[in-house]
Amino acid sequence: MSAEKIERKIAVIFATDIIGYSKHMETDESETVQNLRACEKILTKLFDEFDARLFNTGGDSFLAEFPSAVSAVECAVAFQEAIQERNKADETTVKLEFRIGLNSGDVIKEKGNLLGDGVNIAARLEALAQTNGITISKGVYDFVKGKTKFEFNDIGLQKVKQNEFYAYDIMLKNIQKRKVNTKSVSSQLILMLVCGLIIIIGTIGYFTTAKKTNDFKALNKKNAQKSSIPMVLVRPIRNLAASEKNDAIGIGLTESMISILSKYNGLEILSSNTSFHIGENNFTDLQLHEEYNVDYTVEGSLQVMGTASRLTVGLNDLEKDKVIWSDNFDFSLDDIFQIQDQIGNKILSTLQIDAVGGSQAISWAEELNDLETFTTALNWRSEWRKFSPSGYKNSERLLNVLEEKIPNTGVFYNFSAWQVFQKINFGISTNLEQDRQNLRKHIDNAIDVRGNAEDYALKALNEVFHLSKSCEIAKADSEKALTIGGGVDVYTILGSVYSACGDLVNGVKHTKSALALTPNDNGWFITSNLVADLYQLGRFQEIREVIGDKIDAVDMRKRLISIFAVLEFQAGNKDNAERLVKKAKAQGLNKELVRSWFNDSAVVENLISDLSAISKLD
């Protein structure tokens, strides 16, 4: 029996897939599928407009044939532009991104499907494409050159598996210009030098931020005490290809990420020593979280295809056991410094919002679209909330930096008012009347320029403590703030306003709202206010529920330790009560400090009496 004739033809093949699809599915399967369907609807509509035929799909990938190279290019560009517009929309819940490869070549037609090198190379081109980009073969380029308005960039000869082909990028908006592939001795030397320089820079970053990192000896079960500051581990970047030069790039990228994340003092970033030790010993995420209190891990893998490199990076929340962010980054060696900053900054901004600031950080991110300024603002907030003379000095220094970056803005006036508020509170004002005038001026400027909920909450608290000292005015400002919209800082401030005005029940309600909205209460700032109000209300069981087994956190506040010690003593746990008071006294607990914690003198004297029954106070 003669073999059935194989049907061949020349076709223009369009190949696309979604970047990080599996990670999106892990995060939210239903929303990802709904958004995929919406993107597929856009794609199939464009296929109809450009007379294309969809011949294969893998759920998150699509293969189509086109009648001409020009129509394939125009369709591909139209699709990427449509997806970019869709991802800008607020209602888009999962922002899917695509790569596209186009090839013209010989294919085999098999029951409606197309097979052969013509299809394989289209898939290879898709894999080489940048995020939101389109990469085409020389065959397609030769057909469309001079027939479209688009610009092209020659990225040279590519070798992927058994396929060898020339490739071009279509230069869309936000697409980086990649260099031509060359294999000279000089390029190998450059590679070695760049890798070495990355490692040196990362190492310098590590040593200059040593105060923000831990050596592995500190990461053991005995010392793994909980802190209010989230602990982050950057796992070593995995090299998916057996190559020493790729190992060097991976090491450099790991060091760089650690250095960038260390810029924010609201995170505890483990050192590269710890990172590589854990990598060598294959610690699981479960071990890291349950035994060593690591809260987040950054993981990545490096893949090299010809001159193109792809780094896949993910950020994992170990408490929730889920991926909270992931992406692919395509780059060439010449762009490695830019890509390492891009990746580090993306991870940093995600952690600042999802791990620490929550809705408050989102609000500031919208106002301060420069990451460096955003980080400085969050560091200012972190230092200010220490509510100590040293914290005041550090926050004042950071405010001076912000004055150069965001002068005459609502957020700067807001910060300036809070700085004066703390200056007056600490009794370090040399001209009290002048500082009160400055406080009023900053508040008025903040309201005039921006006038959001934070600014009216700021006014409310200062009316109580330093300006009119009228609870009636303060409560009116509080209602105005709530009408505009609540948030972490708004609820925190209003909790203090109502408590200061003697309405502890509403104070607790607002402070609980603040605590519920913040991913992590750095420095136990909100928790401290809540526990103080609960103590005055005699709601001791709620205090236990709020603090729980976190009482031995390394950065637990003296006020919380002292109150919890009294509860332990009253419950008959005298040894633990004595241990806690001893710890608080070692941190500076005395009668004068206790008197600064409450406005109600009766509450103060009762707490001093209870603490003195455990251990004598100075």
pLDDT digits (tens, 9 = 90+) for 87-123: 999 889 899 999 999 999 888 888 788 888 888 889 8
Q: Give residue 282's region: left, alpha or beta (phi > 0; psi -120 to 50).
A: left
Tokens of 203: 């190492």
- Comparing 504 with 59, the larger pLDDT belongs to 504
- Say what the pLDDT of residue 283 is: 83
Q: Which of 276, 272, 277, 323 is nearest to 297 (CA)?
A: 323
Asked if residue 98 lies in contact with residue 133, where contact means CB atoms within 8 angstroms, the answer is: no
Which residues share a beta bridge with 14?
64, 102
The amino acid at 141: Y
Percent of the chain predicted with pLDDT > 70 = 88
Residue 182: is its pLDDT beyond 50? no
Q: What is the mean pLDDT of residues 462-489?
A: 93
CA angle 271/276/280 to nearest 5° reads 150
| Antiparallel, parallel or unpaired: β 7-18 and 98-110 | antiparallel
CA angle 344/349/353 to nearest 5° reads 150
pLDDT in tens, 232-262: 999 988 877 655 555 677 787 888 888 888 8
Asked if residue 342 lies in contact with residue 333, where contact means CB atoms within 8 angstroms, the answer is: no
Q: What is the mean pLDDT of residues 314-324?
A: 89
pLDDT band at 191 (very low <50, low <70, confident <90, very high): very low
- Say what the pLDDT of residue 261 is: 86
Q: How far is CA 185 from CA 178, 182, 191, 350, in A?
A: 20, 9, 10, 40
pLDDT band at 218 (very low <50, low <70, confident <90, very high): very low
DSSP state of 271: P
Q: What is the mean pLDDT of residues 354-358?
A: 82
CATH 3.30.70.1230 domain span(s) along the chain: 7-170
Which residues share a beta bridge with 310?
303, 330
- Interatomic CA distance for residues 196 and 218, integer angstroms: 28
pLDDT in tens, 406-465: 999 999 999 999 999 999 988 898 999 999 999 999 999 999 999 999 999 999 999 999
Least confident among 72-86, 154-168, 499-513: 154-168
Burial level of 281, CB count in 10 A (0-12/13-18/19+)? exposed
185-357 folds as Rossmann fold (3.40.50)
Least confident among 215-219, 272-276, 506-510, 594-598: 215-219
Residue 147: is its pLDDT beyond 70? yes
- Comparing 181 with 607, the larger pLDDT belongs to 607
pTM for the full predicted model: 0.63
- Say what the pLDDT of residue 71 is: 95
- Say what the pLDDT of residue 483 is: 92
pLDDT band at 356 (very low <50, low <70, confident <90, very high): confident
Residue 569: is its pLDDT beyond 70? yes
CA angle 325/331/337 to nearest 5° reads 90
- Say what the pLDDT of residue 170 is: 94
- Comparing 374 with 209, the larger pLDDT belongs to 374
pLDDT band at 355 (very low <50, low <70, confident <90, very high): confident
- Say what the pLDDT of residue 246 is: 59
Q: What is the mean pLDDT of residues 137-151?
A: 91
Asked if residue 63 lies in contact with residue 122, where contact means CB atoms within 8 angstroms, the answer is: yes
Tokens of 483: 């009408």
Least confident among 214-218, 293-297, 317-321: 214-218
The mean predicted confidence, pLDDT, of the chain is 85
Least confident among 65-79, 240-254, 386-400, 525-539: 240-254
Q: Which of 84, 148, 160 is nearest to 117 (CA)?
A: 160
Least confident among 55-59, 346-350, 543-547: 55-59
Q: What is the mean pLDDT of residues 290-314?
A: 83
CATH 3.40.50.10610 domain span(s) along the chain: 185-357
Q: What is the mean pLDDT of residues 574-598?
A: 92
> Crossing angle, helix 410-425 and helix 432-449, to 10 degrees?
160
- Say what the pLDDT of residue 206 is: 44
| Class of CATH domain 7-170 | alpha beta
pLDDT band at 4 (very low <50, low <70, confident <90, very high): low
pLDDT in tens, 5-28: 778 888 999 999 898 777 777 778
- Interatomic CA distance for residues 129 and 300, integer angstroms: 19
- Say what the pLDDT of residue 150 is: 92
Task: Say how many residues make up the chain.
Answer: 618
- Comparing 391 with 161, the larger pLDDT belongs to 391
Residue 529: is its pLDDT beyond 90? yes
Residue keyed to tokens 């592939």: 181
78-112 burial by CB neighbour count: b if 16+ within 10 A, else e? bbbeebbebeeeeeeebebbbbbbbbbbebebeee
